[in-house]
Homo-oligomer: A and B are copies of this chain.
């Protein structure tokens, strides 16, 4: 009963080599990913039975996206094929004071046009313990919103734990619409994950005395916010990642988790970034792994923070860390001594 299902949109990320800008790129490195697929891939690598639901175009790109998941051991039997195109994004890696930039090109994607009838939800959820989604999918389109709600409701009916990564995307919808939709979905949610911006926009909660972008973080303020959120939506867990963006090259990274009783803040990592993408999703995967495997709150918090910090030292969407590597980081610290 450790099967975990995630659902969302896969995208092809096209990224110039190194620090080249999009405008000057003569070629683009290709990475397939997308938030919920990162969660599934990470859990499969951690040894879990992880399945992923999406709709892909029946094309070489759709097949390559599928292959990238299979390569990590994700169960893709319930992936639907059809529709017009794979969502794309063009990603420019920043450096120092130049921010990374993402140009999304995802309108009309197969997943944006998918509906519940494309999927065998009961089959996919059969034997599963957990469903994970994000706030991106309901923002893609009205049909995707309906699909998300159907999936969440079905999962609840079948007794699955439901987690959501709030993940507000301003290019996809307005703050008002996001709050309306996300608030309505919270009735199905047991585990709520996000950062301070997501929580503020999607649910209307703000930590006191905190301005993460300026490096000012009140753990106490977060704790009180998590308590209010839990109270309001009956969450079993509330969690947040804290990214201190000192520059596009160097970030601080840590996490906070509340289980309705206790509150834990993880070790803080100084990351010389290789690829910041997928940090949040890798945290979600680590947290789900910890909860499903009955770690204590502190251990789960540290595991998820370490796993997601490691991700940001790797290129591409997926977190290629293994459980053993996460544990080594927890045991031996971030000194980075060579492993022979």
State the A residues within 8 Å of B (CB): 14, 17-30, 59-61, 63-64, 67-68, 70-73, 84-85, 88, 90, 92, 94-105, 107-108, 169-171, 213, 245-250, 269-274, 276, 309-310, 312-316, 320-321, 325, 328-329, 333-340
Contacts and interface: CB of A to CB of B under 8 A. Distances in A.
Contacts of A276: 338
Contacts of A104: 340
Contacts of A335: 97, 213, 245-247
A73 B70 contact: yes
Contact of A249 (B25, B272, B315): B272
Contacts of A337: 99, 213, 245
A248 B249 CA distance: 15
26 contacts: A18-B315, A19-B274, A19-B313, A19-B314, A20-B315, A21-B314, A22-B60, A23-B64, A24-B64, A27-B28, A27-B29, A88-B105, A96-B270, A96-B272, A96-B273, A96-B274, A96-B313, A97-B309, A97-B310, A98-B321, A98-B336, A99-B336, A213-B335, A247-B272, A248-B338, A249-B272
A75 to B, nearest CB: 11
A277 to B, nearest CB: 8
A149 to B, nearest CB: 25
A42 to B, nearest CB: 14
A333 B21 CA distance: 20
A110 to B, nearest CB: 12
Nearest to A250: B272
Given A17-B27, A97-B334, 13 more contacts: A21-B320, A22-B61, A24-B316, A25-B64, A67-B71, A67-B72, A88-B88, A88-B105, A97-B333, A100-B336, A102-B339, A170-B340, A248-B336
A95 B19 CA distance: 16
Contact of A26 (B22, B29, B70, B313): B29
A273 to B, nearest CB: 8
Nearest to A64: B23
Nearest to A74: B70
A97 B27 contact: no
A340 B108 contact: no
A314 B171 CA distance: 26
A255 to B, nearest CB: 15
A97 B269 contact: yes
B98 A313 contact: yes
A260 B256 CA distance: 55
